[in-house]
Amino acid sequence: MSKTKTKSGSFLSRETKRNLIAYSFIAPNFIGFCVFTLIPIIFAFALAFMKWDGSNPIQWAGFSNFTRLTDDIFFKAALKNTIIYCLGTVPLTMIASLALAIVLNQKVKGRGIFRTLSFFPYVASLVAITSVWKMLFHPSKGPVNNILFNVFHVPQENLPQWFSGGLVLFSMILFSVWKYMGYYMVIYLAGLQGISSELYEAAGLDGANTWQKFRYITWPQLSSTTFFVVVMLTINCFKVYDIAIMLAGGGSGELTTSATVLVYYIYQKAFIDWDLGYSSAVAMVLFLLVLVVTIIQFRGQAKRDKA
């Protein structure tokens, strides 16, 4: 750092000196970022068009990895499950976090405690908290099914198998809503606090009821927050992996077609089958999904900025 300074005094122009100082601030992060993020990203795009097992020479594969995708039933199942998971999780989390934010925005006692509590699931590690869920929803011994059996008299053979077959995606969605609503609640809370109280007072004078106040003031005023929340939620849902592995994974962490997701398939193809090119092709599908959502976000933002 001091080297540039002493040198610059004699034969470096002011501008060069200024640039060097600025670069010295950026360098530590940027070098790490370049080596461990930027280069692998470029590599990932190239790899999708290659055939490689990680040790033998790389071969050019053209679009064959992508054509293989079209008749791969495991890939299709992974894509379908990921999208269903998104379609369930995004609206439910949004509604739950908005409702929670509205309730917590009232003047109520112990507001701070409630807010802290709703963050607990968000910071808790998945391994620990999913093992609790697996116990609570244990098909034969868990308290949830126990209540269904004893209180609601659901017959033994009809008790839901929460973590296998058709219900597994539903359980994953339920779990995600529980885990992440506290986080999005805070974003909504910030949005709610930005709405002028005069709007509500004026509506109150006009005799608007609670629902009308929500429908005609809160909801439209929160539109940009909602937009942001939905985009973030969608992108995060596409990346789902741990939740599936931990709620539905077998003993060695394998997933069946009813619970497989895109990231799991990327992982499996790369680190179990060592089919790196094909794995990267699946990764490109994930990238495209996220890209589409991001473009929609940018468009929406631009529209909003114009208005």
Partner 1 sequence: MKSAHKKAVAGKICVYIILILLALVMIIPFLWMLSASIKSDREVFQMNPFVWIPENPKWSNYKEIWTKIPFATFVGNTVYLTIVVTALQLLTSSFAAYSFAKLEFKHKNGLFLAYIATIAMPWQVYMVPQFIMMRKMGLNDKLLAIICLQAFSAFGVFMMKQFYEGIPDDLCEAARIDGMSEYRIYAKIMLPLSKPALSTLTIFTFVTTWNDYLGPLIYLKSQEKKTIQLGLKMFISQYSSDYGLIMAGSVLSLIPVLLMFLFLQKYFVEGVASTGLKG
Whether residue 163 contacts residue 248, with contact meaning beta carbons closer than 8 Å, is answered with yes
Q: How far is the CB of 182 from partner 1 (least distance, A)?
A: 7
Whether residue 134 contacts residue 163, with contact meaning beta carbons closer than 8 Å, is answered with yes
Q: Phi and psi (nearest 5°) for 285?
A: -65, -45
Judged by CB, which is closer to partner 1: 77, or 176? 176
Q: Which of 9, 57, 108, 211 binds partner 1 (CB under 8 A)?
A: 108
Is 106 near partner 1 (CB under 8 A)?
Answer: yes
Q: Which of 63, 292, 294, 304 binds partner 1 (CB under 8 A)?
A: 294
Q: How far is the CB of 272 from partner 1 (least distance, A)?
A: 11
Instruction: Tell me which stretch binds partner 1 (CB under 8 A): 73-81, 156-164, 183-191, 196-204.
Output: 183-191
Whether residue 195 contacts residue 110, with contact meaning beta carbons closer than 8 Å, is answered with no
Judged by CB, which is closer to partner 1: 166, or 207? 207
Instruction: Tell me which stretch binds partner 1 (CB under 8 A): 79-87, 131-139, 163-171, 211-219.
Output: 131-139
Q: How far apart are CA 265 and CA 235, in angstroms?
A: 17
Judged by CB, which is closer to partner 1: 77, or 184? 184
Q: Using DSSP, state whether 146 is helix, strand or coil.
A: helix
Q: How far is the CB of 231 from partner 1 (least distance, A)?
A: 9
Q: Which of 69, 80, 267, 300 binds partner 1 (CB under 8 A)?
A: 267
- What's the one-letter identity of residue 242? D
List, in order, residues 6 or more apart from 276 with CB less than 8 Å away: 47, 50, 52, 53, 54, 269, 270
Q: Which of 123, 272, 292, 302 binds partner 1 (CB under 8 A)?
A: 123
CA geometry: angle 114, 177, 92, nearest 5 deg:
110
Is 156 near partner 1 (CB under 8 A)?
Answer: no
Instruction: Tell me which stretch binds partner 1 (CB under 8 A): 159-167, 195-203, 215-223, 271-279.
Output: 271-279
- The residues in 60-99 that bind partner 1, with binding defined as CB under 8 A, are none
Is 265 near partner 1 (CB under 8 A)?
Answer: no
Is 135 near partner 1 (CB under 8 A)?
Answer: yes
Is 127 near partner 1 (CB under 8 A)?
Answer: yes
Judged by CB, which is closer to partner 1: 77, or 283? 283
First to last CA, the chain: 47
Judged by CB, which is closer to partner 1: 214, or 287? 287
Instruction: Tell me which stretch binds partner 1 (CB under 8 A): 64-72, 74-82, 152-160, 286-294.
Output: 286-294
Structure tokens at 229: 């929340």
* 246-to-51, 181, 200, 202 alpha-carbon distances in Å: 31, 19, 45, 50
Is 300 near partner 1 (CB under 8 A)?
Answer: no
Q: Which of 49, 74, 114, 200 binds partner 1 (CB under 8 A)?
A: 114
Cα-atom radius of gyration of the chain, to the nearest Å? 25
Q: Which of 189, 222, 247, 255 binds partner 1 (CB under 8 A)?
A: 189
- What's the one-letter identity of residue 214? F
Q: How far apart are CA 124 and CA 1, in angstroms?
A: 41
Which residues on adjacent β-strands are paired with residue 60?
50
- What's the one-letter identity of residue 193? Q
Q: How far is the CB of 89 from partner 1 (least distance, A)?
A: 11
Whether residue 280 contacts residue 205, with contact meaning beta carbons closer than 8 Å, is answered with no
